[in-house]
Amino acid sequence: MTFAGRLEALIVIPSSLAISAQNSVGGPTVVTVTAGSYYWTSNLFYGDLATQLQTDLNAQRPSGWTVTFDATTRLVTINCTNTPWSITWTSVPFRNLLGFAANISSVSVAQTGTKQVRGLWAPNCPLDLEGDPRMAPIVTDLRAMRSPRGQVVSLVGNRYYRHRGLVWSAVPVDRYRAVAAVLNGETWEHFLHDTQIHQQLDSSSIQVASLFTPGSRVQIFDHTGGIVGDDFGLSGWFLQGLAELDCKKTTPGWSGLWRVEIPEIVSDG
C-alpha cells in the first residue's frame, strides 16, 4: 500500500535565477524565473513553482509550453507543442530541484525528471498527531487578573497555531536514510538537510539548499492527502525541536522501518 502524505518546504527563487530555452525557430533565450516563494502545491498564500515556470516560459519564448508537477509520482514533466524544443540548465541547483539530471536537447515529446523533486518528503506511512489534523489549535498570551471582589480583567495581544506530537511510525528505510544506493533525494535526511539544517548532504544535493532558508516553512499533507490545518487555510508550518532529533527503529534490532517524530509545529497563520 502506498500512502499519500508528504511535506513540502517553501522554495525561494532569487531574482537572478534563469534557464536557457528554445522552441521552434529562434533563440535560445535566457528565461528568467519570477523571483518569489513557492510550494510544489499552491495554497492561499503561495503559488506553485511548476505553474510559474510554465508562465515564464510562455511569456519569454513562443508559446506552447507546459510544466506540471505530479504529487503521486513527485516528478516534474515539461513539454512544448511548438517543437523541437530544448532547455539548458544554467542553474545546477534549479535543475536538481526539479529532478532533472541533464540538459534537454532538440526533443518533440514530453520530458519527465529522472528523480523526484527536492524540498519534498513522502514518508509512505500514516501520520499520527495530537488532535484533529484538519484543525489548528490556537495558543495565545492571554493573561487574566482577578480583583478581590471576583472581577476578572483579561489581556491578550498575540496568538499562533500549534500541533504537537507528529509521528510517522513506520517509515521505510529508503525514505528515511540517505544510504549510498539512495541518491534520488527521497529521504528524510535529504529533506532535513536541504530545507531545515541547510547543509549539503551528498553530491546529488549540490547547492540545492540555496533555494531554501534554514528552518523553511513547510506545508504538511497527511496520509489521506489532506492538509494539516486545512480548516484554517494556513500558509504553512515551522518544524520545532529538530536540533537534536534522534529517530528510532520501529522494531528493535531491525533497520527496515524507522520512527520519525516532530515534537511540535507552529504557524503564524
What is the C-alpha to C-alpha distance for residues 140 and 170, in angstroms, rounded to an integer? 34
In one-letter notation, the amino acid at residue 191 is F
pTM of the model: 0.92
Predicted local confidence at residue 183, as pLDDT: 60
The pLDDT, as a whole number, for residue 181 is: 44
Phi (first) and psi of residue 220, to 5 degrees:
-115, 125
* Angstrom distance (rounded) from CA 4 to CA 72: 7
Residue located via cell numbers 510544466:
67
C-alpha 140, offset from chain centre: 28
Q: Determine how β-strand 111-112 pairs with β-strand 75-80.
A: antiparallel
Q: What is the pLDDT along the chain (269 residues), one digit of tens a residue?
A: 789 999 999 999 999 999 999 998 888 999 999 999 999 999 999 999 999 999 999 999 999 999 999 999 999 999 999 999 999 999 999 999 999 999 999 999 999 999 999 999 999 999 999 888 888 888 888 888 998 988 988 888 898 899 999 999 999 998 998 764 456 789 999 999 899 987 766 655 557 889 999 999 999 999 999 999 998 899 999 999 987 777 889 999 898 999 999 999 999 99
DSSP-H helix ranges across the chain: 49-60, 92-98, 173-176, 188-192
3-state secondary structure 118-130: CCEECCCCCEECC
Cβ(91)–Cβ(51) under 8 Å? no
Spell out the domain ranges in the chain. Answer: 7-120, 121-267
User: Hey, which residues does 68 pair with through a beta bridge?
Assistant: 77
Amino acid 198: pLDDT:
78
Beta bridge partners of 221: 6, 227
Total number of residues shown for the chain: 269
How confident is the model at residue 205, as a pLDDT? Answer: 56
